[in-house]
Each structure stands twice: as structure tokens, then as C-alpha cells.
Amino acid sequence: MNPNAPAPVAAQVSLLEFPCTFPIKIMGRTRDGFAQAILDIVRRHVPDFDGATLEMRSSSAGNYLSLTATIEATSREQLDALYIELVAHPMVAMVL
């Protein structure tokens, strides 16, 4: 066992206290259906998420769309699962 290896994700200490308000920024190319696809993913992990609160901003040239979903996170596991699904989506370029 390597003593310098990072701890597994589950063993890492979280600096967040749950529940907490947590903003997630998702960026992708401007395409039909992008915002709806992201909303569907967020609602799978946060069923009571109000889609009307999803913030949208276009890049200056209009090629990219940035979405911010501010959720009420209930656990580290919930956030991890949401991030994994968002990052895996083919329309998503980046998740912060």
C-alpha cells in the first residue's frame, strides 16, 4: 500500500455540511435541447428542483451556453452522482 496515494473519495473529509445550497455550473455548445437535457439530469438527482431557477447565459459569440443550477444538496453521494451523470453527457463540455 502506498502511503502517498490519495484517500478514496468516500474516505475524504467533506468541507460541506449537508443539507446545503450548492451551485453547479454546466457549460456546453449552444444546441437545441441542451437546457432541457441538463434540467432532466438535475431533476433525477434533485426531484424538487425548480426549473424556473435554472440560470442561463450565452457566450459573447453565442456559441456556448452556461447553465447554473443552484440545488439544495442533501449528501456528498448525491453531488457525486449528479456530477458523474453531467460530465458523462455528450452535450456537456465542462461542469464546475
Region 30-44 average pLDDT: 97
Instruction: Answer whether residue 5 is part of any domain.
Output: no
Name the nearest CA neighbour of 29 among 58, 70, 54: 58
Answer yes or no: is 9 within a domain: no
- Structurally, the chain folds into a number of domains equal to 1
Which domain range does residue 80 map to?
A: 19-95
Q: Are 25 and 95 in contact (CB under 8 A)?
A: yes
* Nearest-angstrom CA–CA distance, 4 and 42: 35
Read off the pLDDT of each residue in 58-69 and give the average, rounded to a whole number: 97
User: What is the domain-level CATH number for residue 33?
Assistant: 3.30.70.260
Task: Determine, yes or no, domain membership for 33.
Answer: yes
| pLDDT value at 32 more than 70 | yes
